[in-house]
Amino acid sequence: MIPVIIGMTIVVFLLLHLSPGDPVDLIAGPRATPETIENIKINLGLDKPLIVQYFKFLINLFKGDLGTSILQQRPVTTIIKEALPVTIELGLASIIVSFFIALPLGIMAAVHRNTWKDYASMSGALVAMSLPTFWLGLMLIYFFAYKYRWFPVSGYGTWKHLVLPLIAISLTGIAINARMIRSSMLEVIRQDYIRTARSKGLPEKVVIRGHALKNALIPVVTMLGLRIGWIIGGSVITEIIFARPGVGRLMVNAIYARDYPVVQGAMVVLTASIIIGNMIADILYLILDPRIKY
């Protein structure tokens, strides 16, 4: 975990500080004198060499201090804490919806292979994977928020504000998970122990649920671990389109404003979520297949 986080901080720090643009120019304005600009740099600590700025950020990070926002002049930790619940709400809801819809679709397609059920579900999944999230979000806003006025155009606060963003962000997850579950199930149901279970006269539902499904879920758990980390990173486009005040939108606005501490803090949270997601996946491996721990 520590090498991954340190490597991420180096990449983000260099990309931010070496890219065109300067937060001092945004703060000082076009009419600022060189003396004013120099004073702002000194106050923000931007007058020091990059290596000094980086190690100062890294030391503060391991102390639990993500710094102070250049523009808002508030602790980055506080700013992220305010935005994080919005992102977690949408992300967790999308994981739950995509998994529980994809699971029966994938199983049905595998059990009824090369039938109209298989073709229909997998064709639908292929179409869903092909739809860009930003385009789907705009279409949902146009039809269900603007034209029919069933849901609000943007915002956050009620369950109605969650419906359209949830559909936009979940559709791709449903498609990917359904195809993966189908592929994994087809591989499992060809195994000898599945044929043995059927030869004993067990009902097909018992064979699928009790013997095949558990082993077929191992690749899906890998994707689930990545999706947990994707809660923050994958919500950027959706939060911008639907104007949700989450971490993704916060990070994009901070990039435009060259608010280095906020961007670095948001990226630390994103990296930590991916690491935690993979850790949860490792734990679930042991539950699904005890042989893995050996």
Q: Cβ distance 231 to 88 under 8 Å? A: yes
Residues 34 and 90 reside in one and the same domain: no
Residues 181 and 234 reside in one and the same domain: yes
**pLDDT greater than 80 at residue 265:** yes
Q: What percent of the chain has pLDDT over 90?
A: 0
pLDDT (0 to 100) of residue 29 = 66
Which residue carries 């720090």 as its tokens?
13
- At 290, the pLDDT band (50, 70, 90 cuts) reads low
Residues 90 and 22 reside in one and the same domain: no
Return the structure tokens found at 101. Answer: 């819809």
pLDDT (0 to 100) of residue 233 = 64
Q: Cβ distance 97 to 170 under 8 Å? A: yes
Nearest to 213 by CA among 197, 201, 230: 197
Residues 232 and 138 reside in one and the same domain: yes
172-198 pLDDT, tens digit per residue, is 888 888 888 888 888 877 777 777 777
pLDDT (0 to 100) of residue 278 = 77
pLDDT (0 to 100) of residue 289 = 65
Between CA 189 and CA 151 the distance in angstroms is 43
Which residue carries 């939060």 as its tokens?
239
Q: Identify whether 78 is part of a domain.
A: no
Residues 124 and 254 reside in one and the same domain: yes
pLDDT (0 to 100) of residue 247 = 85
Between CA 185 and CA 11 the distance in angstroms is 39
pLDDT (0 to 100) of residue 159 = 85
Residues 21 and 151 reside in one and the same domain: no
Residues 11 and 108 reside in one and the same domain: no
pLDDT (0 to 100) of residue 124 = 86
What is the CATH number for 227? 1.10.3720.10
Calculate the average pLDDT of the chain: 80
Residues 113 and 9 reside in one and the same domain: no
Can you say whether the dihedral through the CA atoms of 175, 179, 180, 181 is positive or negative?
positive
Domain count, the chain: 2
Domain that holds residue 227: 84-293
Q: Identify whether 285 is part of a domain.
A: yes
pLDDT (0 to 100) of residue 47 = 72
pLDDT (0 to 100) of residue 288 = 66
5-58 pLDDT, tens digit per residue, is 788 888 877 877 777 666 676 666 667 777 777 777 777 677 777 788 888 888
pTM attached to this predicted model: 0.76
Residues 118 and 205 reside in one and the same domain: yes
pLDDT (0 to 100) of residue 212 = 73
Residues 26 and 139 reside in one and the same domain: no
Per mean pLDDT, which range of 84-88, 226-230, 275-279 is the poorest?
A: 226-230
Average pLDDT, stretch 243-264?
A: 84
pLDDT (0 to 100) of residue 25 = 66
Residues 233 and 265 reside in one and the same domain: yes
**pLDDT greater than 60 at residue 294:** no
**pLDDT greater than 70 at residue 142:** yes
Residues 41 and 142 reside in one and the same domain: no
